Structure 1
Amino acid sequence: MEIAHKRTRRLPAVAAQFLLGITGLALITFVCFHLDFGVARTGFVFVILIALVSLLGSSTRASVVLSFLAAACLNYFFAPPLFEFRIDAQDDIERIAVFLTTSLVVSVLTSKLKRSENELRQNQSKLQKAQRIAHFGWWERDFTTKHVSLSDEVSRIFGVQPVDLPEWHGRWLDLIHPEDRARAAEAAAAALRPGGPRYDVEYRVVRPDGTPRVIHSQGDVTWDDSGRALRQFGVLHDITELKQTERELRASEARFRTLVDHASDAFFLYNEDATVLDVNRQACESLGYRRDELIGMTAFDYGPDLTPELLLRIRERLRAGKTVTYDGRHLRKDGTVFPVEVRIRPFWHEGQLLAVSLDRDITARKRAEDELRASEERFRTLVQFSFDVYWESDAQHRFTRQEFAEGLADAPAPGSEIGKTRWEVPYLQPDEEGWRKHRETLDAHLPFRDFELARPAPDGGKRYVSVSGLPVFDGAGRFIGYRGVGRHITERKRAEDELRASEERFRTVVHFSFEVYWETDTQHRFTRVEYAPGLVEAPVSGSEIGKRPWELRNFEADAEAWRKHREALNARLPFRDFEVARRTPDGGKRYVSVSGLPVFDESGDFVGYRGAGRDITERKKAEEALRRSEAYLAGAQKLSLSAAFAHNLKENLYWSEGLYRIWGFDPSRGMPSREACFQRVHPDDRDRVRQVVEEAVRQKQDYTIEYRIVLPDGTLKHLRSICHPSYSPAGELVEVVGTALDVTERKRAQEEHERLRQLEADLAHLNRLNVMGELTASLAHEILHPIATARNNARAGMRFLEVSPPNLAEVMEALACVVKDADRAKDIVGRVRDHIKKAPPRMELFDLNVAIDEVLVMVRNAIENHRVAVRTCLMEGEATVSGDRVQLQQVVLNLILNAMEAMSSVEEGARELSISTELSQPNGLLVAISDSGPGIDPEHLDRVFAPFYTTKTSGIGMGLSICRSIIDAHRGRLWAEANRPRGAIFQFTLPAGVEDS
């Protein structure tokens, strides 16, 4: 439907073009028939008409049909016999055939030229938009003309206007940061030395407004056959934002690495096969390995409890998105084993399952648990055996009976303490205050309990006894003494001390491992909450007691997380790393990871939960910063059509998201193989790419390569890769890290530039053909004159041969004149052929005065027909210039013809044409062509050089535009001024040529 719509819109335009052509054919046929122009001149007018119709319209077919109609008109109205489609004269057949061929060629070339200009304009617009988006621009230096061209984006990057371009090289160096100026200049100079390095440099620039930017510039030099630099074309990329992103990413990675390396727990990064990909400093210190030794090992190498079956179960839980926690052991490099608590969390990276394992050394915790169990066992033994001594005393508190438990260590000799009071036994050593209070209790006949006494032991230490007693009264209520027991509490004392030390150690471990310890009852209400000393923003002590976790206002978690957590609590299952957010007084958030175990009593009844929590706010921030930096990097690569990768000689190790997009691979299927990538390299580039990579790896140097790839849908892309190989201490290749840049658009821009240059050359050639058509009569006269002279000299020679005897000397002189006239005609034809043939520009040294004289010879007949007086004022000596002789003669010829045509409208006054050459400063020549015509409106002086602008009724407006292009290409300048008292002056300058010594 869209194609049909476009065709429908084109029909009126084609119809208008065809109607305009028919009208013009009819009008020209009528006028030329009555003026008796003949076939040749009428055909020339028809060619001009068809060229104009082709330029104004858009249909080649309409122009072709008009060409055939014009040929029919020539046959019917101008080729005898008239008013019949029959031709008797062979010359008329040739003229009509030449006309039809020329008309078809002009129609096709003109249509193609217009179509190409439209496509070129669209492509240039797209290229400029792409350059603005990607901060890419192009630049070109022509060493022959010393002309510098910059794209608009390059001008924006440097902060300059195109008018700043004169002496650009010095201006460019002034914009470069002083610290980078020498390096950039050296790189530019080195690239211009034969066999030198490729121009590829990064530097900083300071714009005129003071804004700093970071630039990456690259360029290639074109050399001639003698090894001289002709031109240099390059691209320039503003990488300021990319550099800033790289710095932020490196800073983020450094902060994250510092955070991980200073953690008290060991971190391991595993792949699915339990191979170590990365570790932190604590992991290396706890196992006794270096980091490079651990990377590449498997968990089996230092996990004596890990089995393939256990790894399979762990992998299944990780694939289900669950966190795995278990207690195991690690084997150090020196062969020792220590217990660890392992917590493994899964995550997916580029379609690959990875796992982060946090392994905590629980040696201290195990030791504390063992000591606690031993202490509890000793205490149980003391309870089971109740006491170690039974004793009785009288009313004066003297021992009357003592019975020690069997096997009691350090027991006194039997009966050695009978008859003595407790304070009379020398080895019982309480403090004085203790004795005083104890005696007051005894004198008051009160019961006492756990009165502790210390006595020396044979080994020099002390043994402790706890004494309890009850007063005894007789039947009359009189006090008769005490009865009691004593327990040997030395071991209990030691156990209590050890227990206190153990509890202190355990409390220290808890405080340094967790930020909060908590306990709950059967209804999940907090019964105990202890925060680590110095914890920032800890709640008020006791404010959370009696509340459930989900009832705390400053705890936040999503509804689904609370639901799953409550299900685990109601099922009385252990949980680990339940994450909640806690609001802070300043409006921010802190994140806490909570773990807990259910507690059961001796009968197996559930009594609540005990657990701990860790503040993971910094870890959360680090993870978020890492994700953000990765997103920034991916975005920067997407904008700049660049990507990153890493590989070795066997496989790809890393592909960024942008690389999948450039190569057309699906990221969900994982990284493609090296062979799959080579299959997409263009067949003509495949062997070269392999050779460059192998050579660079063998020489252990960085390398840059450009190549093409072909996607499955047939899309062709041009890529540029910059690679850096790294090697092990043994000299073996470890990996190749590099970046890839999609330079397809840059290649297309270069091709479009070349097409534009070719179109300009074709248009200049067409202009020369048009001018030579106008000079046909003049050239015919110039050629016929030496032919007629040669004919007269030949007849004279024949007459000299007829006399008797023949005058051979006169015959020789006549024949010499014939040869001279023939050479003169040959020179004229040769100059015409050189002027109209299509050939590439040829730079040579020649005398500009002689070239101008040759042009005047070609237009001599036209000058006489227009009654123009020509005055030349050429500089003395040779006016040597370096350039293309034919192109510069085309400029002079166009300006002379324009002047004569302008003066043809002058009825009164002299028609004067003046041509002069003189030296100009510095080191140049000035050519001036002035006329006495009506002149040019001052408001239109600058517009006369614009394409398709003309003041002539029969012109197409390309002559002066082509002339300016030719002069610009010769490093000169063409301009127009008003003449006095009337007319116009066209002047151009050219650099003076210098002959090689």
Structure 2
Amino acid sequence: MQSLYNWLGGGNISASNVGRLVDYLDVDRLWLVEGVGSPTGEHEGDGVYGEHARSLIKNVVSNEIRLKLASKAAGLAIWEYDILRNRLSWVSESNPLYEIDLASTYPDLDVFINALAESDRERFSTRLKLQLAQGGHGFEELTINLPDGSARNIAVWLTANKDATGRPLGITGAIQDITERVKNQEALSESERRLRSLVESCPFGVGMARNGKVIFANQACLDMLGFKNPSELYGRPLTEAIAPGSRDEVMDLSSRRLAGESVPSSYETEGIRRDGEIFPVQLDATILQFPDGPVNVGFFTDLTERKRAESALRESEEQLRLITNSLPALIAYVDSELQYQFINEEYERWYGPDHALKGKRVDEVMTPEGYQAVLPHIQRVLSGETVHFDSAIPYPDGSSRYVQVTYVPDKTPDEGLKGFFALANDITERKKMEQAISAKEAQLRKAQEIALLGKWQVDINSRQCILSDSAKQILGFSNSEEHSPDIMYNLVHPEGRDRWAQAFENAATGLEDYDVNYRVLGHDGDVRHILARADLARDDDGKPVSMFGIVQDVTEQKNRENRLRDLNRTYEMLSQCNKSMIRALTEEQMLNEFCHHIVETGGYRMAWVGCAQNDENKTINPMAVAGIDAGFVKNAMLTWADTPRGRGPGGTAIRTGTPAIIRDVHSDPAFEPWRNDAIERGFGSVCAFPLGENGDVCGVLLIYSKDVDAFDSEEVQLLENLAEDLSYSVHAQRARADRDKA
């Protein structure tokens, strides 16, 4: 075969191809036919078989030369693996493609395999074994590490070589550098991924249809229509996504748009979900031209929530009017030109029906005297200031009424002024009552000056007590009963005995004057308020020996004082809380103002609002606080669970949904966890009111008084109504916040 190789010109054809030709032509026998020659080199014969063999071989040589040129032009590196010699040979023309000597760089198969990326080595080795075993052709895409440290992506083609008996001889292959192609494919894939990600992440639905059939829908579109997988929607008629009543219109517009007519590209219509629910939708449609034909593209926005929000807004506006109409106050909105733009029903009752006032100026509605009385306050509110004032206002019917007024400016974001809100409370009756009470108090003070008061004397050493008849009557003793401080102790109301006893002992020992108010509990269970004062008598050595004093039943006075205080507090608290409900812009502002008014106007020591959490510990988180806090609320660690810290007034009110009262923080066992801190801050009693709507308790309002037993039934009812108003206002504020978000 070497002779044949030399005869053909040596380097013109590879030795392996010569070998394959010999196997194919059975050359060992050709040398014996008609002068072809012998294997020893005598091959100049011109027999027909010799000429045929030479012709075949020359064709192979020509084809191989053409193959080399084509491979070089195509960027292919040709290689051959001889399994018998375990040798890897390369066509030298392939070297320039990689700028290295391939034969010396990869002399054998193991070196070539080790140059591959680690993740490709086992796969390529398996492919070689498979090709040798099964024959045929193979293909792999691999990554190879070149000597200069760079990496290339290569495509490898494999063809198994076998002899006539099917025995594996080796593998012939070709390598092509596909690095740029891989980079371009990766860039294209990344671009497609980004585009698809953009479309899929759109908050609105994107759909495409061709010939009336759906061919694409992003996830938002699938969710909108109620489909889980694209395959459930693709291929369906587009009309199935449109409500029956809107299909003709949508398809007509689509056909006309496809025909090139000018039709609306954005309009509202109705879609239909997979479950048959019809919903409002905003449709923005266009036509895109693709190589395979035009496509209808639609962008869908579900208008369900917007429509609900619009409906809720209308309902809210109606509710606002109902609320303002239900308030016992005059409410109006006046623009910057001093023209009425809104009035509630109470305002109508004062000045006339809405149609007569709306659009009129303030000076056209009020009397000249009334307008001059409020003009300075109007000027202040128009300068951006919130104004509060009380005034007697003359009205067109000739009457004069006392009003408590608040003007609140309505500012634009750039601090301009659009107008102002006016809130007025008629306090005429309160003023009259205050005047009447003042007159009664003057009479009472005069009567007290001439009234006979009960007198008493106590011998400090013997503890014997002498009472006048009037004193006995006041304290509830009969003439036959013995009298002593110890017996008097039992007459004192149980909740105040210790405090009374301490005051008496302090006075008897000279530590402080005896001037004390306390309550006594009569035999019939009647509670009376007693004022007691005394002077201390001492012997020549300065030692206390006796006390001389008076007692006075001040129950009626206390009741009057309480009624007056409650009356003033009631009107003022209602007024201030109504203002907060009207002007508060946020829930936080409203809660803080409520607590502030309860403390500052109502005269309570502290007030705070807590939110009931549905966590494991059922904690109560503070949301607003006013008054003497000093860390009390923060350290209270309240819960509404049925635990020691949940059995106080706050937790009890939330659990039961009813008010909970601690009448004396000094003695009530339920208040034990907070007693010391409460006493330190001067708290005497506590009342808690649940907050919520329709029986759903979500929080609590807690009010602390400095007085023991400060909350009687009327006051509890008043505060309970106030808590209900607060609950309603919180609900309204949250509804408005939800609408603003929508």
Q: What TM-score results when the alignment is normalised by the length of structure 1? A: 0.31
Q: What TM-score results when the alignment is normalised by the length of structure 2? A: 0.40
